[in-house]
Structure 1
Amino acid sequence: MTNRITELFNIKCPIIQAGMIWASGWKLASAVSNAGGLGIIGAGSMYPIVLREHIQKCKKATDKPFGVNVPMLYPDLEEIMNIIVEEGVKIVFTSAGNPKTWTPYFKEKGITVVHVVSSVKFALKAQEAGVDAIVAEGFEAGGHNGRDETTTLTLIPMVKEQIKIPLIAAGGIATGRAMLATMVLGADAVQIGSRFVASDEASSHIKFKEAVVAAKEGDTQLTLKELAPVRLIKNKFYNDVQELYRKAPSIDELKELLGRARAKKGMFEGDMDEGELEIGQIAGLIHDIKPAAEIVYDLISEFKKAQQECASY
């Protein structure tokens, strides 16, 4: 499969593994890259020294391209960006910030830059900033989400209509059929998170992986919009948030309930009651935990089968 994204990243198949916090370490990134996709190390849950270690281990585990995802709202940002350059990372995905801030710096270093957006407005701003490609992420996605609540089915053709650079679809994609659907709508590739959470190589806790597999339709909900919209599995913490909402809480009260390291507690340490469990709506279609390479193979196989079926209509 060859298109603008496979050529941009020098990969075999247009599948990008999302840089999810507490799940996307070097083991997952290298496994996806070795399988022909683009593996991504999620820097959002890493101190700078930990990020450097993951990059170095990933370079030893694969000779294929891989990238680093950086949410631009974390502390130590300048140190993280410098580590990426020092370690020779060739692909960077940025999110949760202004792409104009760091894109010129990376472009000067010969690094390919991709920015994650949730609206046409921000897609145009990212293109103007000079990024090489855009990830347009719909409302179905897990983790932190856009405030407009635009679904992937709507967002992808809207963004495609307005931009000229390559487009990667994200949000609610965990099957080859969904991959084909978004590419028919105009995407050049897909970015997949939730399906790779339920992989052997994901660094997230086994209890969290099992919770993802057990999730059914309606088991996730977008909440905490006053702070940063986030899609969570409904557990005790989620119910505590909803109970607080019944009292019309202030921002400070919401922050107090959220506390610190709530996502780490749930996704990395395995506290299924008090932890924040970030996952997408598509969890209802994820039924097992398997190696990342097998996930990539399944996606491509189903994609090709769906192509053949559509050709016969």
Structure 2
Amino acid sequence: MNQRIQQLFNIEFPIIQAGMIWCSGWRLAAAVSNAGGLGIIGAGSMHPETLKEHLQKCKAATTKPFAVNVPMLYPEMKEIIDLIIQENVKIVFTSAGNPATWTSHLKAHGITVVHVVSSVKFAKKAELAGVDAVVAEGFEAGGHNGREETTTLVLIPMVREAISIPLIAAGGVANGRSMLAAEALGADGVQIGSRFAASAESSAHQNFKNKIVAAGEGETLLTMKKLTPVRLLRNKFFQDVIELEKRGGTSQEMEALLGKRRAKKGMFEGDMEEGELEIGQVAASINKIQPAAEIVREIWEEYLQVKKSLCG
């Protein structure tokens, strides 16, 4: 790959660990950054005081660059932004909202801003808002997803044609082969979630990590499209969602079923039946729990090997 992402973030490898709710605490972020990638603390599940603790522990655990992911629909957004500035965070990934809202404010404080999108339309809007790079996330990705249902294979080339700023591919990327494929499609780097969710340093519950490793082909599905589309592993809660959708349930009924703390119950507390289990399609190819540094090294080495074999 070219050096645009490495230069933008001052990292060794163009491998970014996604800021996943309930999985991306300071231990994982520090481990990925120490391994030469870009670790991200996922602020979506954190109140400001919790995020402050994670930021300070991450700074103590690594001297390398790391980032914070902030879903822009977060109810305590101003407090989170103020804290990020106060703690001298250098890189912020924003998602689930209008990038124009906070980008200029963050950049005025010397912060590099990246926005996550799932369509060409929003990639263009992000570039116009002044972000430094875009993560284009395909339909295969875990967690909250785009309504367009555009796959990574289709999305990345279209976004590449539409914007000039660095482009990071996400969704279905978990190894060196898929990283090389993303490069061929026009990406400057990759963002990886599911494989790091199952890492040793992930803050996810061990039950969830085990379920990721055990997942087979076809065991995830994009659901809750009337509310907020999210890709889930099959379990009792998943079946309840599917049955409600089949009955033509309203968004209000879906909200009532989802309730509060459903994602925490599953991914963080380990309830594999009643919890919300967000993961990507690529979980089917993940067959072991590894240290984050080992994951980074394996991905990069495989990328180089496959690229060399294809180039003769």
> Which aligned pairs between 1:8-157 and structure 2 lie closer than 5 A?
8-157=8-157
Task: Quote the residue 2:6 is aligned against.
Answer: 6
Corresponding residue of 1:264: 264
Q: Note if contact 1:71-1:97 (Cα within 8 Å) is conserved in structure 2.
A: yes
Whether contact under 8 Å (1:24, 1:202) holds in the other structure is yes
Report SS of the residue matched to 2:99.
Answer: coil
The residue that corresponds to 1:248 in the other structure is 248
Q: Which residue pairs with 1:209 in the alignment?
A: 209
Q: Distance in 1 between matches of 2:123 and 2:245?
A: 32
SS at structure 1 position matched to 2:68: strand
State TM-score, norm by structure 2: 0.99
How far is the alpha carbon of 1:173 from its aligned partner? 0.3
How far the C-alpha of 1:284 sits from its partner, in A, is 0.5
Q: For 2:53 and 2:309, locate their aligned partners in 1 and report how far apart those are by CA, in whole Å.
A: 45
CA distance 1:186–1:2, change in 2 (3 Å): closer
Residues of 1 paired with 2:153 and 2:90: CA distance? Answer: 30
CA positional deviation for 1:123: 0.2
CA distance in 1, matches of 2:279, 2:2: 30
Residue 39 of structure 1 and its aligned partner are, at CA, apart by 0.2
- What does residue range 147-296 of structure 1 map to in structure 2 within 5 Å? 147-296=147-296
Which SS does the other structure have where 1:56 is aligned? helix
CA distance in 2, matches of 1:118, 1:244: 26
Q: Deviations over 1:76-125 (max 9, x none)?
A: 11000000000000000000000000000011000000000000000000
- Which consecutive aligned stretches of 4+ in structure 1 deviate over 2 angstroms post-superposition? none
User: Conserved in 2, the CA contact under 8 Å of 1:147 and 1:229?
Assistant: yes
Alignment gaps of 5+ in structure 1: none
Give how far 1:184 is off: 1.1
Q: Letter of the aligned partner of 1:21 in structure 2? A: I
SS in 1 for 2:186: coil
C-alpha distance in 2, partners of 1:285/1:248?
33
- In the TM superposition, what is the alpha-carbon distance from 1:246 to its structure 2 partner? 2.6
**One-letter amino acid of the counterpart of residue 64, structure 1:** K
Deviations 1:217-276 (A, max 9, x none): 100000001110000001000001111223211211111111111000000000000000
Counterparts of 2:39 and 2:246, CA distance in 1: 41
Aligned-partner SS, 1:218: coil
Q: Deviations over 1:34-86 (max 9, x none)?
A: 00000000000001100000000000000000000000011111000000000
Structure 2 residue identity aligned to 1:303: Y
* Partner AA of 1:272 in structure 2: M
Query: Is 2:226–2:250's contact at 8 Å kept on the other side of the alignment?
Result: no
Secondary structure at 2:13 match in 1? coil
- 1:2–1:13: 8 Å Cα contact kept in structure 2? no
What one-letter code is carried by the residue in structure 1 that aligns with 2:274?
E
* TM-score between the two structures when normalised by the length of structure 1: 0.99
Contact 1:2–1:12, Cα closer than 8 Å, also in 2: no
Report the 3-state secondary structure (helix = DSSP H, G, I; strand = E; otherwise coil) of the residue aligned with 1:100.
helix
Structure 1 counterpart of 2:46, one-letter code:
M
Give the deviation of 1:2 after TM superposition. Answer: 5.6
Q: Secondary structure at the match of 2:100?
A: coil
Distance (Å, rounded) in 2 between the aligned partners of 1:2 and 1:150 = 25
How far, CA to CA, are the matches of 2:254 and 2:70 in structure 1?
25
Assess if the C-alpha contact under 8 Å between 1:152 and 1:171 holds in 2. yes
Residues of 1 paired with 2:75 and 2:112: CA distance? 23
